[in-house]
Structure 1
Amino acid sequence: MSDDWDTVTKIGSKVTGGAAQRETVVRGKGALNAAQRSGAIVGTEKKFATGNAANKSGSEGQRLTKVDRSDDIIAPNKVPAEIGQNIRNRRSKEGPYKMTQAQLAQKVNCQANDIKLLESGDAIKNQGLLNRVARVLKVSPKTGLPLDDK
């Protein structure tokens, strides 16, 4: 038992001698399959923050970092009022897209209150809901403007 306290384990340095193999990083599905076939112990980890993801133009990650670092209460992103106004105009105008908030909510599989909040500009940004409403009303999910009037 006392021997355990006297030994030192070095991680990441080159170990001389011994029968144990060093850890290797395998890139590619073929090399991973070959390692599994050989009977080696295989552990997989998924990298989430890769270089390509950092280059994307979305700012949600930056906003979340700001929320994490701030001691104050940060308000969540809301749907711009002009998008809600454009959706309301499209829904209430005479024609094939004329329907009530409840009818639109049923078509997009959500609550009527969600549509009410979306149209008033008080809704927290939910891109999935915006995309479904845009698909039903044939409007742009980014601006709320009709797509078939172009």
Structure 2
Amino acid sequence: MSDDWDTVTKIGSKVSGGGSGPRETVIKGKSALNAAVRSGADISTEKKFSSANAADKGTEGQRLTKVDRSDDVVATQKNDTKVLEAIKKRRTEEGFKMTQAQLAQKCAVNANDIKNLESGQSAKNQQLLNKVCRVLKISSKTGEPLADKPAKK
């Protein structure tokens, strides 16, 4: 029991020596992965998002990384209200006049999705927005009507 009084317990992130186990390393390449498996090491995988292809795939990966690292509540992305108003207006215009159910059928989606999109209650769904804008012939970025392009000869 007298030994317990002589030992020192260090608490904190800067504790060195004999910590909780081996240091975490990142394995690059299949051969290194196979060697780690053969040695019986603990292996875990993690999905990482990089911004290398941000121009091709948008910034959703960056946003997910921000959400993952944040301790606070991060608000969901919403659609631009100007575009949503343009969708409502265009759907009721002459030549495009249709109900939400008819628009949903043309876009091959659920009628509730169109209702939530127009009301602004749904989270940003770029695929749905693109489908609706393609059917209504408006820009998905600005909400402006697209001019009909003449057919190529």
- TM-score, normalization: structure 1? 0.59
1:125-144 to structure 2, matched below 5 A, reads 125-144=124-143
1:111 equivalent in alignment to 2:110: yes
Q: Give the equivalent residue in structure 2 for 1:83.
A: 83
1:53 equivalent in alignment to 2:70: no
Task: Flag the 1:128–1:94 CA change in 2: closer, same or farther, 3 A.
Answer: same
> Matched residues, percent identical?
58
2-structure distance, mates of 1:94, 1:107? 17
Relative contact order higher in (CA < 8 Å, ≥ 6 apart): 1
Unpaired runs of at least 5, structure 1:
1-22, 24-47
Q: How far apart are 1:99 and its partner, in Å?
A: 0.4
Q: Which amino acid aligns with 2:86?
A: N
1:93 equivalent in alignment to 2:93: yes
Task: Flag the 1:83–1:66 CA change in 2: closer, same or farther, 3 A.
Answer: same
Give the root-mean-square deviation of aligned CA atoms. Answer: 2.8
Q: How far apart are 1:61 and its partner, in Å?
A: 2.4
1-structure distance, mates of 2:50, 2:62? 15
1-structure distance, mates of 2:51, 2:87? 37
1-structure distance, mates of 2:141, 2:82? 10
Q: How far apart are 1:62 and its partner, in Å?
A: 2.2
Task: Flag the 1:113–1:72 CA change in 2: closer, same or farther, 3 A.
Answer: same
1-structure distance, mates of 2:51, 2:123? 29
Q: Give the equivalent residue in structure 2 for 1:69.
A: 69
Aligned length: 105
